[in-house]
Structure 1
Amino acid sequence: MPPPFGALFKRFVSLPKSSNPTIPSFTTLANSSKSFTSTPEIPKINTLPSRTHISILFDYLKNQRLNEARALFDEIPFPDVYLSTKMVSSYVENSKLNEALKLFDELPIKDVVLWNLMIKGCVNCGNLEMGLKLFDEMPERNVISWTTLMNAFLKSRKIEEAELLFNQMPDKDIAAWNAMIHGYFGNGKVEDAKRLFETMPSRNVISWTTMISGLDQQGKSDEALSIFGNMVGFGLKPTSSTFSCAITACANVGNLCLGSQTHGNIVKLGYIFDPYVTASLITFYAHCQLIDDCAKSFNEKMHLNVVVWTSLLTGYGINNKHEHALRVFGTMIRLGVLPNQSSFTSSLNSTCEMEAVDWGKGIHGVAIKLGLETDLFVGNSLVVLYTKCGNLSDGVSAFKEIANKNIVSWNAIIVGCGQHGCGEWALAFFTQMAKGGIKPDEITFTGLLNSCSHSGLLQKGKHLFKCVSRYPSIQVKLEHYACMVDILCRSGKLQEAEDLVTTMPMGPNLSIWLSLLSGCRAQSNLKVAEFAAKNIFAIDPHCSAAYVLLSNIYAFSGRWADAARIRREMKKAGTFKQPGHSWVTQKGVRHSFVSCDKSHPMSERIYRKIDWLGEKLKENGYVSDQRFALHDVEDEQKETLLLYHSERLAICYALISSAEGSVITVMKNLRTCGDCHSAIKLIAKIVQREIVLRDSSRFHHFRDGFCSCGDYW
């Protein structure tokens, strides 16, 4: 019997000397009347199980009727190793580890296959310690025994233990070498994997495929393709898996020429109908923006494989053909191809890009029916969808449903709360995240600082900004400084903001100077505004946002001549203002409006509605704030210009085209003006509807004459 291997791991694994009360103990044959090498008494012919007996037992196991199968198994006086292995295997496959261990302990005969099965069962059920204990107790080991335990260590990221085990193996077959290379890649040890590959005594196609796949997954796609070329040069015939990995590497580096050549070889060797090869080809052509070739690859054969459908769905998404992507998802459902996590993630991303939250809710319903609403990736996509489309409460509900949240989940809900101006919620989630032992990253703090900015939480913002540098793994980046400048500006601390910009350790970028310039608008501080604009034009002489902001600050202060001068300079520089527009998305169709727009098919009804609202606003005491007209024209013209701003047109369209009492959601590419903000508060009260407006700054939720931002945005 070989020496116990567990002693080699004393510094890695602590094994209790006494048996664990929750796991059945093993009776060692050294203390019993039997031994591993003894031959059991041969049963009489009439005690052997009949064919019917065995057939019924196998039928029970096939249908997972384990209790009945065990009762029948116990009636067999001397079950052979094959029957014992089938019974233990069924327990293991159904994650009934304790029952498997108990039966294993009672069996008089155990061959190496059964020992290996039991070790693998312990590993798959998460009990690596018991797996190691069984390995030590084995009377005889083969290469599979060693490889099974080595894979368990690699899967648990115990790389040093796996290396020690690999080096101690008396005989290594090519599968063991391949497993170790795969494990190195899985643990990010690329150089170790390459070294092991070079020292292998012999290689097979799996060895080469493991290298191609591992290098590609570690971001070294060029090296992966080089390995693929060497493999073909040595005369080895690639398998479908090899081609799939090679095509994926071509997609990642955008090598259309090599990918097309490989596609030709795939056709010649007859792998074109393999679903995973087809999925890789679709992904490849999608990354090369050849969406028609994606469809051609898909249409080579009528596939019912979810991986192929998901590749086409994702391909349309990354090429901004989101409506096509959602049609693919709908066709999948109709044909009975059950979507997986990736299918839902891609389809939800497309609904998010289209801002088609109603379609997203339908997809959410399908996920619930399939039991995937608690899945990490599906849940994360739902949080992003709802928060980006103006429905924070549903985003929070989706977040709570996620079973095992990761940093992406927490960041999604924190950023979402910030976008909706719910700073206190964002901080509360951050507290829960810290209690759960999840370490924040750069995105977490950017989301938190934005939340503080939109909620006027100056002191908490300052505290968080200082906290960033306390995490060794997090670098204070320009994004964090931009957020802090924004917090100070919004809180009226313009001088502090200017001091922060001029004393920061790295040079301010365009975003930081724009934050400072934007902060000058509320206080009409022309001196700081001109200073910030000068620095912006030094970085980007054609920055339209800076020209517009500076011109508006002059106009807001009544300095019309300076405002006109800036606009002349802007025109001379060949720079054009981004036109402001607002839109409403209904049933996946976007309806866009610009100021004073009359191009919409329903414009006549829209203008009748907006004129009616104008009268109602006056009845409720509304007086337009003509400072926001930003044009040197007569007061009556200013009032008309304000009345027909794009967001008001979009709201009126939604009022006449949506169900009574439903929430109206409007998106705008620029910051909404103060006059529109005041008017929409009253409009929400007049029409008794909740109006959600997302501008370039944040979400505003208007209800009963109030806005969620508290007039602070």
Structure 2
Amino acid sequence: MSDDLRPDFYTFPPILKACVDFVDGKKVHCCVFKMGFEHDVFVAASLINLYSRFGVLDVAYKVFVDMPVRDVGSWNAMISGFFQNGDAAGALGVLNRMKGEGVKMDTVTVSSILPVCAQSVDIVNGVLIHLYVLKHGLDTDVFVSNALINMYSKFGRLWDAQRVFDHMEVRDLVSWNSIIAAYEQNNDPNTALRFFKGMLLVGIQPDLLTVVSLTSIFGQLSDQRVSRSIHGFVMRRQWIEKDVVIGNALVNMYAKLGDMSCAHTVFDQLPSKDAISWNTLITGYTQNGLASEAIDAYNMMEECINIIPNQGTWVSIIPAYSHVGALQQGMKIHGRLIKNSLYLDVFVATCLIDMYGKCGKLEDAMSLFYEIPRETSVPWNAVISSLGVHGHGEEALQLFKDMLAEDVEADHITFVSLLSACSHSGLVDEGQKCFDIMQKEYGIEPSLKHYGCMVDLLGRAGYLKKAYDLVRNMPVQPDASIWGALLSACRIHGNAELGTLASERILEVDSENVGYYVLLSNIYANTGKWEGVVKVRSLARDRGLRKTPGWSSVVAGSKVEVFYTGNQTHPKYAEIYRELRVLSAKMKNLGYVPDYSFVLQDVEEDEKEQILNSHSERLAIAFGIICTPPRSPIRIFKNLRICGDCHNATKYISRITEREIIVRDSNRFHHFKDGICSCGDYW
């Protein structure tokens, strides 16, 4: 390097910005130090940006602290560095120090710090910065306004976001994308669509980010036709080849539409896949009730050496394990998460709590709950729900009191979990109090889920008239789930008249759900009205509907065995039925009498007993007895509600075999031990 061609302080900033290798960046830093430019504000700010880009925040902060003079650009660089590396507290700390030294924020500072407020859930600082913006006339800057819209949308304050948008004198594409995304991400697709149409009217053409929002909008609106048009729009512009984000958005769109075939097709066509691609596919399968397919997708993801599972992966796959009761696989994931402390992440931990609860390991769910941060309602809701499905309504109510004592704000999901827990335990008065408190003290308007829980609570307890009156007086239109809860209660208490009325209302709003036909058919069968049974079954058959087959699964060793009602094809078929005959004889000696009211067919009594013995849960229990060590627990997962006779029989079997038999049916858990069930015969 000749003396007349020496670099100066103008030379280093673009060189540092161009460094794509950390080692090269450090070499340039050495040159800066040797030539005495390390205290130049422009060079120092460039060094801060360099080290922040490579995640070396300690060195970036040392450069910042060692600066004898700092301009606003230096402060902005350090704030941005902390934010880019996910350290919101560090960014806010620099901002406070900046204020303390009397340095005024400029538009870049504001645009950098507002996303930090959103990330740290600090609405107070966000509003104060907005006031500063208005006071100093920075609101005319389009970047500042866009950052304000994004911040308010993250807090769900759509009115504030729209007010900022409405007062903008100049709006660019980012402004429109921001307001569209604000409504889309806060589940208001109709308003988001209105802004998209407004954007087109003023002549601004959509870009890739606009289309990402549109895929979610039309997914939420369940608009199959327009969704396919969006897909065609993307394909014509070859955006999938340019950016994996748009491909992921299309997979997510089809998953929201419930079309997992198209979602998987788009996924397969992606030229490159990242962790988000896999997470989106796994989540789609899980949310559409295809847990086995979700697990298969996760196993394929694990085979990709360049894909590293992240928080989104665990939040996607753990619910799938919960759904199928795959406790061993879920525990393996938990062990893996302990190594990197990710199990302390509130969302991951909540999924683990839910998994242990749904797999019958309530003690493990509670133990984990007390290990993790509990500042938000999310983990509380999960553990209250778990207590509820295990029939521990009193404990769920006590935990709610503990939650309030720790100043954790209850939300609408908290009350769904509480009301459900009260329903499973027959706590009618307590449930009514929770329903009243929710409205009067928390100002939460009951949703269809809350009303559904109340109808179930009253109906299950036998207060059918009160349940029906509640449905009739609802301020919102009852949907199929509300009428279904009433119909189910009529099935339990044998009220054919009200059951027929409820079924008529159901078929007006959801005529394609075969489960409701089955419920009504069962009501008629229980009261001996076989002509009604024939009529309902014919109606379902004429509409091409087929009854969901009853199945039960049991874990033996590392293998899950699935049994369907009447299954005679299993390799151990002969041993299973031999064991059932032996158990039946022992049960009768102890006083068991078969309850033929649960045989919903007009056949002779000897056939009825054979039908009861071939129910899927009994086959699974018999298999568990002959294939697992004596006195070890047996865990059964059933897709339908356990019938009353099987419930009674399982109590006897638990006493005869001296085993704990844990059954998770479609409603709740039953822990059978020493001839007693944890539900107290109330389910």
Write the deviation string for residues 678-698 of structure 1: whole angstroms up to 9, x where unpaired: 432332344444311234543
Write the deviation string for residues 302-338 of structure 1: whole angstroms up to 9, x where unpaired: 5352112222323344454433322221122222311
> Structure 1 residue 592 and structure 2 residue 567: aligned?
no
> Structure 1 residue 481 and structure 2 residue 454: aligned?
yes
> Structure 1 residue 471 and structure 2 residue 441: aligned?
yes
Radius of gyration: which is bigger? 1
Residues 582, 650 of structure 1: 8 Å contact kept? no
1:700 aligned to which of 654, 670, 679: 670
> In the alignment, what sits opposite 1:245?
213
Q: What is the distance in 2 between the residues matched to 1:386 and 1:312?
A: 24
Distance 1:136 1:239, change over 3 A: farther
2:534 aligned to which of 563, 566, 571: 571
After the TM superposition, which residues 301-450 of structure 1 pair with which residues of structure 2 at under 5 Å, given as runs?
301-336=270-305, 337-404=307-374, 406-450=376-420
> In the alignment, what sits opposite 1:145?
109
- The amino acid that maps onto 1:144 is V
Distance 1:63 1:417, change over 3 A: farther
Q: What is the distance in 2 between the residues matched to 1:316 and 1:294?
A: 9
Residues 392, 416 of structure 1: 8 Å contact kept? yes
Q: What secondary structure sits across from 1:109 in the alignment?
A: coil
> In the alignment, what sits opposite 1:157?
123
Write the deviation string for residues 425-456 of structure 1: whole angstroms up to 9, x where unpaired: 31232122112222334443343344344445
> In the alignment, what sits opposite 1:623?
592
Residues 57, 82 of structure 2: 8 Å contact kept? no
Distance 1:322 1:545, change over 3 A: closer
> In the alignment, what sits opposite 1:283?
252
Number of equivalent positions: 629
1:212 aligned to which of 177, 180, 183: 180
Residue 584 (structure 1) shift: 0.8
Q: What is the distance in 2 between the residues matched to 1:298 and 1:637?
A: 51
Distance 1:487 1:634, change over 3 A: closer
Residues 624, 642 of structure 1: 8 Å contact kept? no
Q: What is the distance in 1 between the residues matched to 2:424 and 2:183?
A: 43
Residue 637 (structure 1) shift: 5.7
Residue 608 (structure 1) shift: 1.8
- The amino acid that maps onto 2:147 is A
Percentage of identical aligned residues: 28
Residues 381, 413 of structure 2: 8 Å contact kept? yes
Residues 488, 519 of structure 2: 8 Å contact kept? no
Distance 1:397 1:302, change over 3 A: farther
Q: What secondary structure sits across from 1:624 in the alignment?
A: coil
1:174 aligned to which of 142, 152, 155: 142
Distance 1:173 1:617, change over 3 A: same
Q: What is the distance in 1 between the residues matched to 2:678 and 2:458?
A: 23
> In the alignment, what sits opposite 2:624?
654
Q: What secondary structure sits across from 2:617 in the alignment?
A: helix
Residue 279 (structure 1) shift: 0.8
- The amino acid that maps onto 1:478 is Y
Write the deviation string for residues 506-526 of structure 1: whole angstroms up to 9, x where unpaired: 2696356547645646xxxxx
Residues 345, 381 of structure 1: 8 Å contact kept? yes
Q: What is the distance in 1 between the residues matched to 2:157 and 2:419?
A: 36
Distance 1:664 1:575, change over 3 A: farther
After the TM superposition, which residues 458-607 of structure 1 pair with which residues of structure 2 at under 5 Å, given as runs?
460-461=430-431, 463-464=433-434, 467-475=437-445, 477-486=450-459, 488-489=461-462, 498=465, 506=473, 510=483, 513-514=486-487, 517=490, 520=493, 529=495, 532-533=498-499, 536=502, 539=505, 544-546=518-520, 548-549=522-523, 551-552=525-526, 563-564=527-528, 566-573=529-536, 574=538, 581-584=550-553, 591-594=562-565, 596-607=566-577
Distance 1:590 1:210, change over 3 A: farther
> In the alignment, what sits opposite 1:114?
74
Residues 78, 94 of structure 2: 8 Å contact kept? no
- The amino acid that maps onto 1:624 is V
Residues 631, 659 of structure 2: 8 Å contact kept? yes
Residue 121 (structure 1) shift: 7.1
- The amino acid that maps onto 2:562 is H
Residues 446, 479 of structure 1: 8 Å contact kept? no
Structure 1: runs of 5 or more not aligned:
1-44, 522-528, 553-562
After the TM superposition, which residues 179-194 of structure 1 pair with which residues of structure 2 at under 5 Å, given as runs?
179-190=147-158, 193-194=161-162
Write the deviation string for residues 441-490 of structure 1: whole angstroms up to 9, x where unpaired: 4443343344344445566456545544542423455335325425754x
Residues 662, 670 of structure 2: 8 Å contact kept? yes
- The amino acid that maps onto 1:592 is F
Distance 1:575 1:411, change over 3 A: farther
Q: What secondary structure sits across from 2:552 in the alignment?
A: strand
Residue 397 (structure 1) shift: 3.6
Q: What secondary structure sits across from 2:343 in the alignment?
A: coil
Q: What is the distance in 2 between the residues matched to 1:106 and 1:701?
A: 65
Distance 1:63 1:571, change over 3 A: farther
> Structure 1 residue 125 and structure 2 residue 92: aligned?
no
Residue 276 (structure 1) shift: 0.9
Q: What is the distance in 1 between the residues matched to 2:142 and 2:335?
A: 47
Residues 455, 471 of structure 2: 8 Å contact kept? no
Residue 85 (structure 1) shift: 4.6
Residues 37, 43 of structure 2: 8 Å contact kept? no
TM-score (norm 1): 0.73
Structure 1 residues 143-152 or 268-277, which shifts more? 143-152
Residues 582, 666 of structure 1: 8 Å contact kept? no
- Give the root-mean-square deviation of aligned CA atoms: 4.7
Q: What is the distance in 1 between the residues matched to 2:563 and 2:404?
A: 42
Structure 1 residues 540-549 or 403-412, which shifts more? 540-549
Residues 425, 682 of structure 2: 8 Å contact kept? yes
Residues 554, 634 of structure 2: 8 Å contact kept? no
Residue 237 (structure 1) shift: 6.4
Q: What is the distance in 1 between the residues matched to 2:349 and 2:244?
A: 27
Q: What is the distance in 2 between the residues matched to 1:468 and 1:141?
A: 43
- The amino acid that maps onto 1:282 is V
Residue 344 (structure 1) shift: 1.8
Q: What secondary structure sits across from 2:593 in the alignment?
A: coil
> In the alignment, what sits opposite 1:272?
240
Residue 371 (structure 1) shift: 3.4
Q: What secondary structure sits across from 1:421 in the alignment?
A: coil
Q: What is the distance in 1 between the residues matched to 2:131 and 2:40?
A: 36
Q: What is the distance in 2 between the residues matched to 1:571 and 1:312?
A: 42
> In the alignment, what sits opposite 1:134?
98
Residues 554, 621 of structure 2: 8 Å contact kept? no
Residues 251, 284 of structure 1: 8 Å contact kept? yes
Q: What is the distance in 2 between the residues matched to 1:287 and 1:253?
A: 9
Residues 255, 263 of structure 2: 8 Å contact kept? yes
Structure 2: runs of 5 or more not aligned:
1-5, 508-515, 541-545
Q: What secondary structure sits across from 1:125 in the alignment?
A: helix
Write the deviation string for residues 393-431 of structure 1: whole angstroms up to 9, x where unpaired: 333344344434532322222122111112233123212
Distance 1:173 1:270, change over 3 A: farther
Residues 536, 543 of structure 1: 8 Å contact kept? no
Q: What is the distance in 2 between the residues matched to 1:632 and 1:112?
A: 86
Residue 366 (structure 1) shift: 3.8
Write the deviation string for residues 95-151 of structure 1: whole angstroms up to 9, x where unpaired: 779x95x98677422222223345567883167587256236445654323444555
